[in-house]
Amino acid sequence: MYKKRIEKIQRLLAKENLDSFLVNRLVHIRYLCGYSGSSGLLIIRAKDAYFLTDFRYKDQAAKEVKGAKVIITKADPISELKDLKQFQSKNLRYGFESAYLTHSELQRIQNGLAGALLIPVTDIVERFSVIKEADEIASLQKAMDITDTAFERILGYLRPGLRENEIRAELEYQMMALGSEKPAFETIVASGYRSAMPHGVASAKKIAQGDFVTFDFGAMYNGYTADLTRTVVVGKASDRQKIYNIVLRAQLAAIKKVRHGVEGKMVDKVARDIIARAGFGKNFGHGLGHGLGVYIHSKPNVGPRSTDTLKSGMVITIEPGIYISGWGGVRIEDDVLVTTRGGRVMTRSPKNLFEL
C-alpha cells in the first residue's frame, strides 16, 4: 500500500521536472509511509525514498515506516540534512510543499541542501489522496462507526443543567473508549442561541430546557477522520424549531444528487434552493460540504463556487444548515461515499428530530 503510494509520487517527478520531493506535512507523511509521530521529513527520489526523524522516534519509525529507508538523526531532521552525503548532489531540483512549509524552515532546508534548487509545488499528495482505496474506506467507516456509537451514548447523558464543555468531555471520552485515536477536530457543542454559530465550540454555557443543541464532532481511526453533525431539542420542539424539517429535506435531496460525474456546485444548489424557497436563504451562509479522509477538510469542494466534479471513491460531507442569530440554528451532516450509482451514506445516526 505505502510502497505503491510512494511509487505514484516517483512517477510524477519526471512530469513535474523534479529530481526529489520533500514532504514535511505530517498527515502527508503518514499517508505516504505510515509514520504517525510528530517529527519527521520524507524525501522521495526517482528510485528510492528516505524518512528522517530523531532518536525519540527510533522504535516508532522502525515499526511504522514502510516503503522508505529510515535515517535517525542526532538533532531535528532539517538541521541534519547538510551532514547526509546522499542529499548533497549539486543542481538537483527539489519540490517542496509550499502550502505547509514556513519561510524559516525553507531557509534551513536550503542551507542543508547547498547547491539544490527548491521548487514550490502544490497538491502533489492531494491529487492522489482524494480518491480513496478500499483500506482507506474501511478506516473511514470504522471512524464513523465510533462516532455514531458515541452520539447514541451521549443522548442518554444529555440533560438540562449540564455545561456544553462537560458534554464535550463526555463525548470525547466515549469516542476514545470506543477506539478513537483522538478527536478529528475541535468538538462543537452549541446550545440555545449559540447553536446559531456554525463553529460554536463548547463553552461554559449551561443547557436549558427547550434548547436546540448542535453537536459537530468526529473520531479519528488509523489516521482517518469522521465528521458528523446532529441537532436535538432538550424537551419538546416548538413550532419555530421545526425549521429542522427544512434542513433535513434539503440534506436528503442533496444526498440523492450525489453521483460520479456531478459537479459539486450542483449538489450544493439542490440543498440551497430548498432552504431559499422556505425563506431562509440568507440564513445558510456556508458551503454544503467538503472532502474527507486523512484531512478533515479537503477537496472536493461542495459549495456554490465549487469547480470540482465528484468522482467515484471520493468521500464528502453533506451539511446544510439554518442559523438565526440570537435565537438558534440547525445543521445536519453526514459523510457520503461517491459511487457511479449515487451517494452511499456512511454515517448511520438517526436524523429524526430528537426531543429529549
- The structural domains of the chain, with segments of one domain joined by +, span 2-129, 134-345
The pTM is what?
A: 0.94
pLDDT of residue 114: 85
pLDDT digits (tens, 9 = 90+) for 196-242: 999 999 999 999 999 999 999 999 999 999 999 999 999 999 999 99
Instruction: Say what the pLDDT of residue 90 is.
Output: 85
**Burial of 15 per CB tally in 10 Å (0-12, 13-18, 19+):** exposed
Domains 2-129 and 134-345 share a fold: no
pLDDT tens for residues 23-71?
A: 999 999 999 999 999 999 999 999 999 999 999 999 999 999 999 999 9
Tell me: pLDDT of 248 over 90: yes
Write the CATH number of the domain with boundaries 134-345. Answer: 3.90.230.10
98 close to 69: Cβ distance less than 8 angstroms: no
Cell 505505502, residue located = 2
Give the DSSP letter of residue 193.
G
CATH entry, 2-129, from 1.50.40.10, 3.40.350.10, 1.10.10.60, 3.40.1280.10: 3.40.350.10
How does the average pLDDT of the chain come out, rounded?
Answer: 96
CB-based contacts of 183, cutoff 8 Å, min separation 6:
172, 175, 217, 218, 219, 220
Task: Read off the amino acid at residue 34.
Answer: G
